[in-house]
Structure 1
Amino acid sequence: MRILEVLVIIFSIALFLNIIFLKKKKRCAIIVGLGILYLIVALQIIIEGYRWQMLLGYIAPLILSVAGMLYSISKSKKKYWKWGIAAFSIVYIAFMLALPLVLPIFSFEKPTGEYFIGTDSYHLIDQNREEARSLVKGKHRELMIQIWYPSKETNSLQSEPYIEEVGAITAGLERALSFPAWTLSHLNLVKSHAQKHLAISNDEESLPILIFSHGMTGFRNQNTYQIEELVSHGYIVVGIDHVYDAAATVFPNGKKVLLELSNLSGFEGFDKHMKIWTEDVAFVLDTLEEWNSGKDEEFFKGKFDMDKIGMFGHSYGGATAAQMLLMDARIKVALNMDGVLYGEPIPSIGFSKPYMQMNAEKSIDKTIFDASLEAAISLSGRTRGSYEEFWKESQERRKNALKGKGVTMVIPNTSHMSFTDFHLFSPILPNKGEDIREVHRIINELSLAFFDEYLLEKESGLIWDKAIKYPKIGLLSSIE
């Protein structure tokens, strides 16, 4: 919790206790305490910002004022008053504490690299593609991208919020996850380490580029913990919102495109859909090439090292990274975080370029898959055979991907969303035995080592040296 939130809670608890054990000689002190509490509540809302999880803390001074008055004017049954107020206070305090702790204003760990982080967002229109899902015939495909870049300076401006358009993003997540959007409305109060209007670093003439692709129903900021770490070590990261498949995409004119859940199912549907995402990435790469030459965008002129481009993604975005590695010569290395390998089949000899597959333990453990099968069948109406066939095909594709220049690792006690910021949203979300901060450190160290070794060619064996610190992840060069 933030400092003023903590003070609101502490003063409220202290005053509840004083009301319960009220003595005449302390009434003046309680009145003064209530005045201070009213002031702290006002300051908290003004300075730190309102959030609904603190509502019981905000109205605590009103409750205390009423309780104090009723208790003080009562001439009889004071014992019953005391017990009643005590019981009410215990329940009230429990909920007042629980709500902000269960849904906290979390913070991202400070990036370990030497660079500060600059950022800005850009609206792109692909004049060569029509938007198939638009109600307007002939409308071109539009994208929003965000670029994070290393800088040697910082400024006096506040860091950018983690999610700027929180209303749209949470509305899209509500469609995907079926929870009320308002429960995560506080995420706009979470701060990133990035700032706008910073000068790009001139330590190098040009900088390596990493493209990030979110998962289906995700959004471009969903891996901020990882993006900031990579940028702090000198990479430019370009995050893409794949419009209609992202939780939400908000354009500069205020237009909001929320997630449109499609009826995609199985390999056939998702394989075919992949073309949209790979064309998005290819278009972004084309745009970066134009900007690098000085066309339309002077800020990045000459700053992109177009010979050093890698890609990483989560879930469907991870599969997109693998497809781009297969299809586009500009992508030199790819990192897939827990993504089933949808798209064009991977050759049986694997990739000819460096590829890394990170998986969650729960995603590839056949025992866990079998245990969840009955529930999945009852919810989806699909047959057991279709699920078994899906498992077999996904494992075969994964095996092929790792036969060439592939490496793989499995992080214990993790599930699909462990690779994103999602498990930071609440302490009740991580899996049993999972320390999400430690998981993120492992992902950051290994992904940075992977890109440093195979994209920048800094040091041979770097990723293996890093993996020694974490023997339980079982880094392997192929699947046995």
Structure 2
Amino acid sequence: MRLFEILLVLSCFALLVDLLFIKRSAKKTGLGLAIGSSVIFVVQLLVEGYRWQLLLVYIMTALFILIVSFRHSGKMVNLKIGKLLKYSLSSLIVILLVGSTVLSAYLPVFDLPEPDGPEKVGTQTFHFTDQNRDEVLTEDQSDKRELMVQVWYPTENRNNNKRGTLFPSDTEMFKKYIQSFSTSLKLPAFVLDYWKYNRTNSYENVEILPSTSPYPLVLLSHGMGTSRVLQASQAENLASHGFVVVTIDHTYSTFATIFPDGRVTDYKTKMTTIDDRTKIGNIWTEDVEFILDEIEKLNLGAIESQFKGKIDLKNIGVMGHSFGGATAFNTTYLDQRVKAGVNMDGSLNEVENRDDINKPFMFIRSGSFKDWLVNFENDRNSDNEVNKFLSDELHIMKNVSEHGGNVIYVEGTQHFNFTDLQFYSELIKLSGITGDINGKRGSSIVNQYVLDFFNKQLKGTGGNLIQGPSDMYPEVKFIDPEEL
């Protein structure tokens, strides 16, 4: 909970205590408490903003302020009620207030974890249209493939801009965005309204930090059905260490993607068979390759921007979560411009003719991977299409491991510990999609190993963590090729 939210809750309980236990003659105490609570109430609403989770606290605080003020001013008739009714009513009020407070604590307004690099982070959003590709995920045959991307980069933030919000700051755009999210989650839109307060550590549209040499580039893809928003902290952390990072919304495979003209697209991707995976995987791979083409234009000045000459196109990496991780592998294999890649807990979408990859690659898997590996070994020889696909995938991972790459897993994590979803609520752990590990700890571990990998492969520095087990991160386990 935020500072003034905590103070508001405390003042509400203090007012209740005054009503129950403080004598009417203690005017200074009561009136002082009412005035102080009123100030906190107003400041919380003006500075931090209204939240539906605190609705009962708002109502009861306002009511208590009025009652306490009238009670100690002598203008209120002294109503006598029985002790049973008095304490029963008080108990109900306490239960309601505790419930409201718990909702606020478990559905919090949050800031993304601060990046641990030396540089501040800037961000800028672009809208690109691939005129050479038809949009196959819509029914309109005239549609072309449109993509929204967000660029994250080192900055000085000379003008001392305020940190940006995680979601669109424009009120109308935010409403459309949240409406699409809430529809996908089958929730009323107001339930997610408080997301408008969630903040990043980045500054929008500020100048890139001048450098004597261009910055290495990393392209980052989200998981199926999520959004680039859920990979923001990873992008920020890399950017704070001197990388330019481009996060991509793969249109019609997200909860919501919003375009500059106010259009919002939702999820329309069909994923029922291995053939579907391959088809969509090809679309996403082409998305990454197209965005890389556009970044080249930015760097050359063919598209006007501040990034001309600022990006090192000889040192390009790709990474992604889940289906985005599979896309990262596929792009690393197919695109000669890509030097190295990272797959965060993603099963591959293409295994044919992929076992001879000769570039550095790292697979980071969740804590359940080791158990899955043991269970699969018992069923590896089953004659079915899925088992053959998984067996080929493990063969690829073994080949990567034997040729200078890495296959690791992080104990205590589950699939969505590789996203920012773990910061949205502790209640998410109850669903099993995040693990027992502390969210910030899990995020930090993934960030450190991704950074170490790209430092070595794209900058020629570091590389200590990916050499083997570390006492600093005992949760990280390295898979021996023979185990695959």
Q: What is the TM-score normalised by the length of structure 2?
A: 0.88
CA distance in 1, matches of 2:468, 2:338: 25
Moved more, 465-474 or 310-319: 465-474
Structure 1 residues 113, 460: closer, same or farther in 2, change over 3 A? closer
Tell me which residue corresponds to 2:444.
441
Select 2:364's aligned residue among 358, 361, 364.
358
Tell me which residue corresponds to 2:212.
204
TM superposition shift of 1:191: 1.1
Moved more, 464-473 or 66-75: 66-75
Select 1:300's aligned residue among 289, 292, 307.
307
CA distance in 1, matches of 2:387, 2:57: 49
Select 1:93's aligned residue among 83, 93, 97.
97
Tell me which residue corresponds to 2:411.
412
Tell me which residue corresponds to 2:10.
10
Tell me which residue corresponds to 1:394.
390
Tell me which residue corresponds to 2:457.
454
**In the alignment, residue 149 of structure 1 is paired with which amino acid?**
Y
Secondary structure at the aligned position of 1:40 is classed as helix
Tell me which residue corresponds to 1:24.
24
Tell me which residue corresponds to 2:379.
none
Tell me which residue corresponds to 1:253.
261
TM superposition shift of 1:131: 1.4
Q: 1:301-356: per-residue Cα shift (whole Å, max 9, x none)? A: 1111111100111111111000001111111111111111113535334x210111
CA distance in 2, matches of 1:178, 1:391: 34
Contact map agreement 2:116 2:237 (CA 8 A) in 1: yes
In the alignment, does 2:151 pair up with 1:147? yes
Report the identity percentage: 29
Select 1:163's aligned residue among 156, 167, 181.
167
C-alpha RMSD over aligned residues: 2.7
TM superposition shift of 1:178: 3.8
**In the alignment, residue 217 of structure 1 is paired with which amino acid?**
G
**In the alignment, residue 230 of structure 1 is paired with which amino acid?**
L
Secondary structure at the aligned position of 2:368 is classed as helix
Contact map agreement 1:346 1:400 (CA 8 A) in 2: no
**In the alignment, residue 115 of structure 2 is paired with which amino acid?**
P
Secondary structure at the aligned position of 1:24 is classed as coil
Contact map agreement 2:318 2:328 (CA 8 A) in 1: yes
Q: What is the TM-score normalised by the length of structure 1?
A: 0.89
CA distance in 1, matches of 2:287, 2:141: 20
**In the alignment, residue 240 of structure 1 is paired with which amino acid?**
I
Structure 1 residues 61, 174: closer, same or farther in 2, change over 3 A? closer
CA distance in 1, matches of 2:25, 2:330: 75
Tell me which residue corresponds to 1:424.
423
Contact map agreement 2:406 2:466 (CA 8 A) in 1: no
In the alignment, does 2:249 pair up with 1:241? yes
Contact map agreement 1:117 1:149 (CA 8 A) in 2: yes
**In the alignment, residue 403 of structure 1 is paired with which amino acid?**
N
CA distance in 2, matches of 1:27, 1:82: 22
Structure 1 residues 173, 365: closer, same or farther in 2, change over 3 A? farther
Tell me which residue corresponds to 2:227.
219
TM superposition shift of 1:479: 5.3
Secondary structure at the aligned position of 1:365 is classed as helix
Secondary structure at the aligned position of 2:289 is classed as helix
TM superposition shift of 1:366: 2.8
Structure 1 residues 465, 166: closer, same or farther in 2, change over 3 A? farther
Contact map agreement 1:446 1:466 (CA 8 A) in 2: no
Between the two proteins, the alignment pairs up a number of residues equal to 463
CA distance in 1, matches of 2:197, 2:266: 21
In the alignment, does 2:107 pair up with 1:103? yes
CA distance in 1, matches of 2:21, 2:218: 61
CA distance in 2, matches of 1:479, 1:60: 64
Contact map agreement 1:314 1:336 (CA 8 A) in 2: yes
TM superposition shift of 1:182: 3.2
TM superposition shift of 1:169: 4.2
Structure 1 residues 466, 451: closer, same or farther in 2, change over 3 A? farther
CA distance in 2, matches of 1:398, 1:201: 42
CA distance in 2, matches of 1:344, 1:4: 53
Structure 1 residues 460, 70: closer, same or farther in 2, change over 3 A? closer
Secondary structure at the aligned position of 1:12 is classed as helix
TM superposition shift of 1:220: 1.1
**In the alignment, residue 450 of structure 2 is paired with which amino acid?**
S
Tell me which residue corresponds to 1:347.
354
Contact map agreement 2:216 2:311 (CA 8 A) in 1: yes
Select 1:328's aligned residue among 327, 331, 335.
335
Contact map agreement 2:468 2:478 (CA 8 A) in 1: no
Structure 1 residues 74, 437: closer, same or farther in 2, change over 3 A? same
Secondary structure at the aligned position of 2:122 is classed as strand
Tell me which residue corresponds to 1:377.
none
Moved more, 79-88 or 433-442: 79-88
TM superposition shift of 1:39: 3.1
CA distance in 1, matches of 2:67, 2:387: 60
Q: Which ranges in structure 1 are unaligned for 5 or more consecutive residues?
A: 371-384
CA distance in 2, matches of 1:17, 1:7: 15
Q: 1:215-234: per-residue Cα shift (whole Å, max 9, x none)? A: 11111121222111110000
